[in-house]
């Protein structure tokens, strides 16, 4: 039985979610503050976290940031307020895997939770805009599930980045962004295009939020994040991924 942690301070909403998710066969725990959520997560394992952003005390962004810093990669869906498009990117930058805007339809939430639980299939089917097949990769049929660059390898089905012996778990969104950059290997991609293609955001979102996300990715994939060699900034445009940088 899959275990869902609902972090929501509005009691009626939290209890409504508990009731409906239990009816769907999930085991549900509720935390009404971010602090309580972190305490519960430290004590017990969950398969999915549904996390409201607006909480008393520390907010949902801080909760997901703290989870990821602790190495806790439980798939996390954040609930953002309508009209706060920037919150979506902020949530992804903090390490969230998916989001829903309040008010949401219960059926959609249940479908998204199911999606996060089947994250491997979800990654392959729904999230991938097209198979990864950069020119430098072998022309294998079907989506490439592993990509090697330098002394690093990213596995899209295991959601891991392996740097020499070190294994870094990736969130779904981190894997998706990396996949997108790899698909466009060697070519500049604009922030606006990434927002549309990767995040599905067409609104007039502040594209600088993407930069926070890139800082995160660089910490994983660059030997010296201050002097990136794979994930390059293209001034005035966006980013360019280089699989095999020229020797310095
Ligand atoms: Ca709230």
Q: What pLDDT, in 10s, does the model give residues 85-132? A: 778 888 888 889 888 999 999 989 998 898 888 764 545 444 444 444
The pLDDT assigned to 131 comes to 44
Of 4, 103, 9, 5, the C-alpha closest to 55 is 9
- Given a cut of 90, whether residue 34 has pLDDT beyond it is yes
Q: How far is the CA of 120 from the centre of ligand 1 (A)?
A: 30
pLDDT band at residue 173, thresholds of 50, 70 and 90? confident
- Given a cut of 80, whether residue 143 has pLDDT beyond it is no
pLDDT tens-digit readout, 57-95: 999 999 999 998 888 888 899 999 877 777 888 888 888
Q: How far is the CA of 10 from the centre of ligand 1 (A)?
A: 6
Q: How far is the CA of 201 from the centre of ligand 1 (A)?
A: 23
The pLDDT assigned to 114 comes to 87
Q: How far is the CA of 7 from the centre of ligand 1 (A)?
A: 9
Question: What are the extents of the domains in the chain?
Answer: 3-118, 127-241
The verdict on pTM exceeding 0.85 is no
Domain 127-241 has CATH 2.70.170.10: no
Q: Comparing 30 with 205, which gets the higher pLDDT?
A: 30
Task: List the CATH code of the domain at 3-118.
Answer: 3.40.50.2300
Please, what is the average pLDDT of the chain?
85
Instruction: Compute, in degrees rounded to 10, the torsion defined by CA atoms 53, 109, 13, 56.
Output: -10
**Percent of the chain's residues with pLDDT above 90:** 44
Beta strands in the chain (DSSP E): 3-7, 27-31, 48-52, 76-81, 98-102, 146-149, 152-155, 160-163, 166-169, 188-190, 231-234, 238-241
Q: How far is the CA of 166 from the centre of ligand 1 (A)?
A: 37
The pLDDT assigned to 154 comes to 92
The pLDDT assigned to 202 comes to 66
Calculate mean pLDDT across residues 179-192: 92
pLDDT band at residue 157, thresholds of 50, 70 and 90? confident
Q: How far is the CA of 55 from the centre of ligand 1 (A)?
A: 5
């Amino acid at each position: 039985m899959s275990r869902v942690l609902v972090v929501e301070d509005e009691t009626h909403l939290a209890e409504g979610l508990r009731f409906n998710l239990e009816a769907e066969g999930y085991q549900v725990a509720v935390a009404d503050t971010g602090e309580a959520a972190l305490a519960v997560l430290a004590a017990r394992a969950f398969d999915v976290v549904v996390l409201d952003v607006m909480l008393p005390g520390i907010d949902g962004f801080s909760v997901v940031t703290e989870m990821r810093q602790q190495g806790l990669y439980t798939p996390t869906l954040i609930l953002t307020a309508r009209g706060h498009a920037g919150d979506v990117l902020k949530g992804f930058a903090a390490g969230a895997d998916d989001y829903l805007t309040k008010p949401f339809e219960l059926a959609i939430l249940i479908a998204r939770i199911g999606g996060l639980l089947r994250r491997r299939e979800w990654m392959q089917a729904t999230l991938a805009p097209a198979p990864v097949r950069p020119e430098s990769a072998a022309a294998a049929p079907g989506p490439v599930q592993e990509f090697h660059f330098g002394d690093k390898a990213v596995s899209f089905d295991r959601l891991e980045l392996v740097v020499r012996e070190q294994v870094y778990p990736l969130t779904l969104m981190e894997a998706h962004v990396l996949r997108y950059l790899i698909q466009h290997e060697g070519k500049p991609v604009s922030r606006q295009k990434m927002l549309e293609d990767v995040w599905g955001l067409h609104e007039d979102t502040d594209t600088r939020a993407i930069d926070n996300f890139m800082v995160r990715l660089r910490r994983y994939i660059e030997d010296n994040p201050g002097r990136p060699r794979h994930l390059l900034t293209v001034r005035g445009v966006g980013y360019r991924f280089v699989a095999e940088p020229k020797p310095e």
